[in-house]
C-alpha cells in the first residue's frame, strides 16, 4: 500500500469527454491516492491494554504500574512487529495503553492478536477549529465601547445567576484548545496559582500542525492563533472591562491545555494525553471546542471522553460546523456517548458600528464592523457603478478615466468576484476605504483581506449610488465614539445554519444541547487585537462549560452532580423554532438537541426530570416504550400535565437518490404520535412520580427518504416547564445503501479502479506495481460503515455481489439479498485493507467527498501477493449489520487485476 510519499495526480485524459456527457461533479484530477479514508493517520494506532491490575496474579497496588506496557512491547517484539512508542497512557480505570507508529500498518492484525490488548484504534487527525466567521478588532484601546453585549447571558438566564453572586468560584475548568493569552488583562494578566488561569501545559509547541512531531513545554501561551483565548473569554472574562462583557463563569479557575500550534490540526493521541492530564490535575470540567466529521461514537478520544464523563466530570465538546452537508454528519469526539455535544444558536444582536451621512438627510448607516473604521476625515463618496443592479461591480480593472480614489469612500456592489478582487481593483486607483453593499445574499461578516472595507445593507447602498448618480454631494464620516449599535439579527435566536446535524450513525442523541455560538464578542490575544466577534460551535461549547461550573458552584463538585448535569440541562432547556415564521415546526432535535440551555432553571429548579433523552433508534430496533420520572425535591406538592410537542421531521435523503440532503434539510409533515400512562399527576414534596410514554413513528412516510423524527414530552404547569427529548428514524438503517454506485461524481459508476494514466480500468489489466503502475480503488460512502474490507479473491470466484449490477436503481430498491450463508463462507485469498467505523462522504470535493485507496501487491499481514490474476472484493457492512453475516455487507467485485511484478 502506497502512503503519502506516493501521492500522485490522476489526469484521466481519456475520460474527459465522457465526464462532460454525464456532467459529473468532481474533476477526475481531484483523485489523490491515499492509504486510509478520511482523517485516519497512516501507520499510527492507539493500543488499549488491560489494566495491570486485571492481569491474573498481579497485586492491585492502586499505583501506576508500567507492567502492562512492558508486556505489550515484549509481545510486539516476539512477533517481529516494528514499532515506535509515541506516547504512553496510564490512567487506571480510564485508559491504559500506548500510541504507537507501526513500521508496517499491516501488522495491526498481529497487535490485535496479543492477549491483553483490548482495542487497536487508528490515530485520527482533527483539523484546526475553524470559526465560521472572525472579525478581529483593530485597536484594543479604542474609546468606542459597544454597549452591554450580554445578550447571550440574558437569553440563557446566566445574568440572573450572576445577579445572585453565582460565578463558578471554586470550580476548575480545563480548556483543551490552542492555548490562552493569559497576559490579557481581562483574563487576569498572568498565569499561576492565585490567578484566574491557574496553570497549563503546552503539549505541542508553536510549530506543530498535526503532521509533525510535537515539541511540548510547560507554557500554554498563545499569541499566534487566538481560538483558545476567545473560548477562555466566553468562560472567564472578568466583568470590569471596557467592553462590558463577562464570562459565564468568571469566578472559575481555568487551566490551559494547548493541543494546537499556530496553524494546522492535531492527532487524537495528543487529545487523550490532554484529557487524562486534566483528570489527574483535578479539573471538574474539560472542554474541547474541536472535532472532525465522523458520525461514529468510537474514536479513541470519544471513548476516553465518555469514560471521563461517566466518572462524574463534565466533558463539553463542539457538535461541529458541518451543518451545510446534512444529517448524520456529527463530529467526533463530540459524539462521545456520555459527553455533552453542543450545538450553536445565533445571538439575537450583533455589535456593529454606525456611520454618519453628511450632505443629504439619511439615517445612520450600520456597517459590519465591531469597531469604527480608523478614518477621521469625512469622505465624499465615489460609486464604481451608477447602476445599483450591476452584477459584477469592480470585478475588472476600473476604467482609465477613474479619478484618484485616495480621497474618497468607494461604494461597490457585492457579487460575482471576491471582495478582495474588487478591493484590489479599487486599490489600483488609489482607493483606501470602501463600503460594499449587499446584493440580497445577506448582511454578514466578509473577508476583505487587509483592506479597510466591509458590508452595508442593500437599501443603504442603493440610496448612496442613486444620490451619487444624481450628482448630490454626499459624504460619510465614521465617528470614533458613541457609534456602536446592537444590530438586531433577523436570524438571531435560531439554531445556526452551520451547526452540525446528528444523530450518530448508531442513533445516539447528538447534539445534546444548544448555546449561543453565532456572533459572540470575546477576548483575543493582545497582539491580535484583544477583542473580536466569532461564530461557531466552538463558541457555544465553552458557554456550556461555564454553565456547568455555575452548577458545580451551587451544588458542589461531586461526581453525582457531574453525571446528572446533562440531564438537568436537557430537561430544563428552551425549545427553539426552525424559523421566525408563525406555524413553522420546532427545529429538529437532530439540530438543536434538547434546546437552548436555561442555566437558571437547570440550577434552581426543585423538580428533577430524568432521563433527558429517549433514544428510539430505527424501526428494526425500535424502543417504543420509554419510562421517565419526575422527582419533587421542593417543599410543596406540585401538579403537572403531560403532553407531546413534536419537532420537525427531517427528510434526510434527496428523493430518488442515496444522497443526503444538503442544508437546509427539508421537513416532512408527518410526526410521531405518543400516548402516556398518565396525562396529569401531582407529585408530593420528596416524592417521585414514574410515567411511561408509548411512541408510534410517523405514519405514511417514505422510509427511503430516511425521515428523522423527534420532539419533546412536555411536563408543565402554569409556572414551570420541563421536557424529555426524543429522537428516532422511520427506516431500518440496515436497509440504507452504504456504497455509492452512481456515476454522479466521476461520470462512471463507482466503485471503480483507476490507473496512473487517468483511465478507469473496466477490463482485465496487468500491473507491475513498480512506480506508478498500480491500481487505485475509487469509492464513496453514501452512509457510514462500521467495517470496510478490501480482499483479494480468485479471478474465477463464484460470488453474487450486491453492487455489480450496473442498472440497479440507486435508492428506491434497497438491496435485500436474503440469501442464507455466513461471512466466513466467502473464500478470499487474503485481506488487503480493513477499516473500522468509516464516516460517510460529503458531496464536497474537499477531501471528504470520496475515498481513493492505492492498492499494493501486498496482503494486510505484509506478505507479498504472488504473481497471478485476481479480483478485488470490496465489502462494506451496513449500519446495524452483523459482521458475521455476509448478507449484511454490500459487496463489489473489481475487473480482473493481474499482478505481474518483476522478479
Ligand atoms: C444606528 O443606525 C441605526 C439605523 O439607522 C439606527 O436605528 C440606530 O439608532 C443607530 N444607533 C446609533 C447609536 O447611532
Ligand atoms: C485620527 O485622529 C486621531 C486623534 O487626532 C489620531 O491619533 C489618529 O492617528 C488619526 N487617525 C488617522 C487614521 O488619521
Ligand atoms: C450576489 O452575489 C453572490 C456572490 O457573487 C452571487 O452568488 C449571487 O447570485 C448574487 N445575487 C444577486 C441577487 O445578484
Ligand atoms: C495585505 O495583503 C496582501 C495580500 O494578502 C499582502 O501581500 C500584504 O503584505 C498585506 N499587507 C499588510 C500590510 O499586511
Ligand atoms: C440502535 O440499535 C443498534 C442495533 O441494535 C445498536 O447497535 C445501537 O447502539 C442502538 N442505538 C442506540 C442509541 O441505542
Ligand atoms: C404558580 O406561581 C404562583 C405565584 O408564585 C402561585 O401562586 C401558584 O400557585 C403557582 N401555580 C402552580 C400550578 O404551581
Ligand atoms: C497478464 O499477464 C499474463 C502473464 O504474462 C498474461 O497471460 C495475461 O494475458 C495478461 N493479461 C492481460 C489482461 O494483459
Ligand atoms: C499472510 O496472509 C496471506 C493471505 O491471507 C497468507 O496466505 C499468508 O500465509 C500470511 N502470512 C503470514 C506470515 O501469516
SS (H, E, C) 33-101: CECCCCCEEEEEEEEEECCHHHCCCCCCCCCCCCHHHHHHHHHHHHCCCCEEEEEEEEECCCEEEEEEE
Atom 11 of ligand 3, residue of closest alpha carbon: 439
Give the whole-angstrom CA distance, residue 253 versus residue 172: 5
- Residue 169 has what DSSP assignment? T
For helices 300-310 and 268-280, what crossing angle results, to 10°?
20
- 94 near 279, Cβ under 8 Å? yes
Q: How far is the CA of 483 from the centre of ligand 2 (A)?
A: 17
CB-count burial class (<10 Å; 0-12, 13-18, 19+) for 511: buried
Nine cell digits for residue 216:
511540548
Give the whole-angstrom CA distance, residue 391 versus residue 112: 60
Residue spans of the chain under pLDDT 50:
1-24, 56-63, 136-149, 806-821
Q: How far is the CA of 719 from the centre of ligand 6 (A)?
A: 6
The response to whether residue 859 sits with its C-beta less than 6 Å from ligand 8 reads: yes
Nine cell digits for residue 294:
465522523
Among 812, 790, 673, smallest CA distance to 735 is for 812
Please tell me which residue in 305, 535, 538, 577 is annotated as part of the active site: 538
For 454-486, give one letter per residue: b (16+ CB within 10 A) or e: bbbbbebbebbbebbeeeeebbbbbebeebbbb
Helix (H) or strand (E) holding 559: helix 559-572
CATH class of 133-348+494-604: alpha beta
825: three-class secondary structure by DSSP: helix
For ligand 7, what atom is nearest to the CA of residue 867?
4
- 123 near 101, Cβ under 8 Å? no
- Residue 336 has what DSSP assignment? -
What is the C-alpha R_g of the chain? 29
Give the whole-angstrom CA distance, residue 666 versus residue 648: 9
2: three-class secondary structure by DSSP: coil
Among 297, 331, 300, smallest CA distance to 317 is for 331
275: three-class secondary structure by DSSP: helix
| Cβ < 6 A, ligand 6 pocket | 638-639, 717-719
**CB-based contacts of 576: which residues, under 8 Å, 6+ apart?**
345, 493, 494, 495, 514, 586, 587, 592, 595, 596
Partnered with residue 455 across adjacent β-strands are: 436
pLDDT at 141: 35
* Sheet with strand 673-676: strands edge to edge: 607-610, 625-632, 688-696, 673-676
Nine cell digits for residue 96:
491504559
Q: Where are the alpha helices (H) located in 605-683, listed in sequence order?
A: none
Atom 7 of ligand 4, residue of closest alpha carbon: 450
Nine cell digits for residue 43:
501507520
Q: Which ligand is nearest to the CA of 427?
A: 4
Greatest CA separation for the chain: 94
- Give the Cα-Cα-Cα angle 136, 140, 141 (nearest 5 degrees): 155
- 413 near 388, Cβ under 8 Å? yes
Give the whole-angstrom CA distance, residue 10 versus residue 13: 9
Atom 8 of ligand 2, residue of closest alpha carbon: 376
Q: Which ligand is nearest to the CA of 881?
A: 5
The response to whether residue 353 sits with its C-beta less than 6 Å from ligand 1 reads: no
For ligand 3, what atom is nearest to the CA of residue 417?
5
pLDDT at 170: 97
CB atoms within 10 A of CB 868: 13
pLDDT at 756: 82
Q: How far is the CA of 784 from the centre of ligand 8 (A)?
A: 29
Phi, psi of 118 (to 5 degrees): -90, -35
| Cβ < 6 A, ligand 4 pocket | 449-450
Q: Which residue is it, cell 448478507?
A: 887
Question: The whole model's pTM is what?
Answer: 0.86
For ligand 3, what atom is nearest to the CA of residue 439?
1
CB atoms within 10 A of CB 845: 13
pLDDT at 730: 98
Please tell me which residue in 69, 153, 162, 227 is annotated as part of the active site: 227
Domains of the chain, residue spans: 2-26+745-899, 40-126, 133-348+494-604, 353-480, 606-734
Q: Which residue is it, cell 436537557?
A: 570
Q: How far is the CA of 376 from the centre of ligand 2 (A)?
A: 6
CB atoms within 10 A of CB 50: 16
Q: How far is the CA of 770 from the centre of ligand 7 (A)?
A: 16
Give the whole-angstrom CA distance, residue 748 versus residue 762: 10
Phi-psi region of 589 (alpha: psi -120 to 50; beta: other; left: phi over 0): alpha
- Give the Cα-Cα-Cα angle 287, 293, 298 (nearest 5 degrees): 75
CB atoms within 10 A of CB 276: 17
Q: Where are the alpha helices (H) located in 370-500, listed in sequence order?
A: 419-428, 458-470
Among 321, 315, 286, smallest CA distance to 176 is for 286
Instruction: Answer yes or no: 362 catalytic.
Output: no
Give the whole-angstrom CA distance, residue 92 versus residue 294: 27
Cα atoms in the Cβ-side hemisphere of radius 13 Å centred on 360 = 18
Write the DSSP assignment of 624-676 as a string of letters: -EEEEEEEE-SSS-EEEEEEEEEBPEEE-BPTTSS-BPPSSPPEES---EEEE
Q: Which ligand is nearest to the CA of 639?
A: 6
- 522 near 536, Cβ under 8 Å? no
- Give the Cα-Cα-Cα angle 823, 828, 832 (nearest 5 degrees): 105
Cα atoms in the Cβ-side hemisphere of radius 13 Å centred on 455 = 18
pLDDT at 821: 47
Helix/strand/coil (H/E/C) assignment for every residue in 856-879: CCECCCCCECCCEEEEEEEEEECC
Among 536, 137, 186, smallest CA distance to 351 is for 137
Nine cell digits for residue 813:
430498491
The response to whether residue 508 sits with its C-beta less than 6 Å from ligand 5 reads: yes
pLDDT at 185: 96
Domain covering 606-734 assigned CATH 2.60.40.1710 in the classification: yes
- 565 near 586, Cβ under 8 Å? no
Instruction: Answer yes or no: 227 catalytic.
Output: yes
Give the whole-angstrom CA distance, residue 234 versus residue 231: 5
User: Domain 353-480, what architecture?
Assistant: 3-Layer(bba) Sandwich (3.50)
Give the whole-angstrom CA distance, residue 229 versus residue 260: 12
pLDDT at 2: 23
Give the whole-angstrom CA distance, residue 119 versus residue 564: 29
Q: Where are the alpha helices (H) located in 348-457, listed in sequence order?
A: 419-428
Give the whole-angstrom CA distance, residue 848 versus residue 834: 19
CB-count burial class (<10 Å; 0-12, 13-18, 19+) for 621: middle
CATH class of 40-126: alpha beta
Helix (H) or strand (E) holding 600: helix 599-604
- Residue 749 has what DSSP assignment? P
pLDDT at 131: 61
Amino acid at each position: 500500500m502506497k502512503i503519502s510519499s506516493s501521492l500522485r495526480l490522476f489526469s484521466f485524459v481519456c475520460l474527459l469527454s465522457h465526464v462532460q456527457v454525464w456532467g459529473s461533479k468532481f474533476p477526475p484530477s481531484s483523485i489523490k491516492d491515499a492509504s486510509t479514508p478520511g482523517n485516519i493517520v497512516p501507520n499510527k494506532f492507539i493500543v488499549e491494554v488491560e489494566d495491570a491490575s486485571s492481569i491474573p496474579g498481579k497485586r492491585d497496588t492502586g499505583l501506576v504500574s508500567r507492567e502492562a506496557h512492558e508486556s505489550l512491547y515484549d509481545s510486539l517484539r516476539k512477533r517481529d512487529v516494528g514499532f515506535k512508542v509515541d506516547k504512553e497512557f496510564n490512567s487506571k480505570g480510564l485508559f491504559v495503553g500506548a500510541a504507537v507508529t507501526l513500521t508496517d500498518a499491516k501488522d495491526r492484525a498481529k497487535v490485535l492478536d496479543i492477549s491483553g490488548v483490548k482495542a487497536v484504534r487508528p490515530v485520527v487527525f482533527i483539523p484546526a477549529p475553524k470559526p465560521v466567521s472572525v472579525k478581529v478588532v483593530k485597536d484594543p484601546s479604542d474609546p468606542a465601547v459597544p454597549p452591554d453585549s450580554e445578550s447571550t447571558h440574558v437569553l440563557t438566564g446566566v445574568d440572573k445567576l450572576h445577579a445572585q453572586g453565582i460565578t463558578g468560584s471554586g470550580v476548575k475548568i480545563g480548556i483543551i484548545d490552542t492555548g490562552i493569552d493569559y497576559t490579557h488583562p481581562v483574563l487576569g494578566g498572568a498565569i499561576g496559582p492565585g490567578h484566574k488561569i491557574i496553570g497549563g501545559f503546552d503539549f505541542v509547541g508553536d510549530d506543530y500542525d498535526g503532521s509533525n512531531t510535537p515539541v511540548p513545554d510547560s507554557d500554554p501561551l498563545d499569541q499566534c492563533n487566538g481560538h483558545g483565548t476567545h473560548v477562555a473569554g466566553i468562560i472567564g472574562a472578568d466583568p470590569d472591562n471596557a467592553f462590558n462583557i463577562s464570562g459565564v463563569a468568571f469566578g472559575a479557575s481555568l487551566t490551559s491545555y494547548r493541543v494546537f500550534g499556530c496553524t494546522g490540526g492535531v492527532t487524537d493521541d495528543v487529545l487523550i494525553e490532554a484529557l487524562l492530564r486534566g483528570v489527574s490535575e483535578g479539573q471538574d470540567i474539560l472542554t474541547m471546542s474541536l472535532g472532525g466529521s465522523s458520525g461514529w461514537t468510537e474514536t479513541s478520544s470519544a471513548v476516553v471522553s465518555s469514560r471521563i464523563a461517566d466518572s462524574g466530570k463534565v466533558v463539553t465538546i463542539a457538535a461541529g460546523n458541518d451543518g451545510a452537508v446534512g444529517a448524520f454528519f456529527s463530529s467526533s469526539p463530540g459524539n462521545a456517548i456520555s459527553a455533552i455535544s453542543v450545538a450553536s444558536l445565533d445571538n439575537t444582536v450583533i455589535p456593529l458600528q454606525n456611520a454618519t451621512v453628511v450632505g443629504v438627510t439619511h439615517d445612520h448607516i450600520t456597517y459590519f464592523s465591531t469597531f469604527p473604521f480608523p478614518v477621521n476625515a469625512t469622505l465624499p463618496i465615489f460609486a464604481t457603478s451608477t447602476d445599483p443592479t450591476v452584477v459584477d461591480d469592480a470585478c475588472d480593472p476600473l476604467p482609465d478615466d477613474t479619478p484618484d480614489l485616495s480621497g474618497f469612500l468607494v461604494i461597490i456592489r457585492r457579487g460575482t468576484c471576491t471582495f478582495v478582487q474588487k478591493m484590489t481593483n479599487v486599490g489600483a486607483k488609489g482607493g483606501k476605504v470602501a463600503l460594499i453593499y449587499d446584493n440580497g445574499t445577506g448582511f454578514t461578516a466578509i473577508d476583505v483581506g487587509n483592506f479597510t472595507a466591509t458590508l452595508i445593507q442593500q437599501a443603504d447602498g442603493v440610496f448612496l449610488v442613486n444620490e451619487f448618480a444624481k450628482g448630490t454631494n454626499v459624504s460619510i464620516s465614521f465617528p470614533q465614539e458613541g457609534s456602536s449599535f446592537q444590530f438586531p439579527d433577523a436570524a438571531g435566536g435560531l439554531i445556526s445554519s452551520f451547526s452540525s446535524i446528528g444523530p450518530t450513525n448508531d442513533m445516539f442523541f447528538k447534539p445534546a444541547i444548544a448555546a449561543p455560538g453565532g456572533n459572540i464578542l470575546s477576548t483575543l490575544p493582545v497582539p491580535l487585537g484583544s477583542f473580536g466577534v466569532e461564530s461557531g460551535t466552538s463558541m457555544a461549547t465553552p458557554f456550556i462549560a461555564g454553565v456547568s461550573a455555575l452548577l458545580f458552584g451551587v451544588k458542589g463538585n461531586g461526581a453525582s452532580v457531574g453525571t446528572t448535569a446533562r440531564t438537568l440541562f436537557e430537561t430544563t432547556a428552551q425549545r427553539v423554532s426552525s424559523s421566525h415564521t408563525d406555524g413553522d415546526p420546532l427545529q429538529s432535535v437532530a439540530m438543536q438537541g434538547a434546546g437552548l440551555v436555561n442555566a437558571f432553571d437547570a440550577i434552581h429548579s426543585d423538580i428533577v426530570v430524568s432521563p433527558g433523552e429517549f433514544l428510539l433508534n430505527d424501526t428494526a430496533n425500535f424502543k417504543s416504550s420509554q419510562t421517565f420520572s419526575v422527582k419533587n425535591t421542593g417543599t410543596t406538592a406540585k401538579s403537572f400535565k403531560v403532553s407531546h410537542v413534536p419537532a420537525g421531521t427531517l427528510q434526510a435523503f434527496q428523493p430518488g437518490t442515496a444522497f443526503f440532503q444538503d442544508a437546509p434539510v427539508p421537513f416532512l409533515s408527518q410526526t410521531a404520535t405518543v400516548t402516556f400512562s398518565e396525562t396529569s399527576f401531582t407529585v408530593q414534596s420528596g416524592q417521585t412520580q414514574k410515567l411511561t410514554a408509548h411512541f408510534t413513528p410517523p405514519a405514511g412516510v417514505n422510509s427511503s427518504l430516511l425521515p428523522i423524527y423527534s420532539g419533546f414530552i412536555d411536563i408543565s404547569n402554569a409556572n414551570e416547564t420541563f421536557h424529555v427529548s426524543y429522537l428516532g428514524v422511520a427506516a431500518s438503517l440496515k436497509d440504507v445503501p452504504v456504497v455509492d454506485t452512481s456515476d454522479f461524481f466521476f461520470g462512471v459508476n463507482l466503485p471503480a479502479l483507476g490507473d496512473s494514466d487517468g483511465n478507469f480500468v473496466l477490463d482485465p489489466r496487468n500491473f507491475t506495481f513498480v512506480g506508478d503502475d498500480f491500481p487505485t480503488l475509487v469509492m464513496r460512502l453514501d452512509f457510514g460503515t462500521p467495517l470496510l474490507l478490501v480482499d483479494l479473491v480468485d479471478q474465477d470466484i463464484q460470488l453474487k455481489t450486491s453492487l455489480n449490477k450496473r442498472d440497479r436503481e440507486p435508492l428506491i430498491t434497497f438491496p435485500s439479498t436474503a440469501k442464507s450463508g455466513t461471512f466466513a463462507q466467502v473464500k478470499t485469498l487474503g485481506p488487503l485493507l480493513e477499516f473500522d467505523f468509516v464516516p460517510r462522504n460529503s458531496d464536497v470535493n474537499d477531501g471528504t467527498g470520496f475515498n481513493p485507496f492505492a492498492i499494493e501487491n501486498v496482503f494486510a499481514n505484509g506478505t507479498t501477493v504472488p504473481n497471478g490474476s485476481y479480483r478485488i472484493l470490496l465489502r462494506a457492512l451496513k449500519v446495524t449489520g452483523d459482521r458475521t453475516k455476509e448478507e449484511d455487507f454490500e459487496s463489489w467485485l473489481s475487473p480482473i487485476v493481474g499482478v505481474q511484478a518483476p522478479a
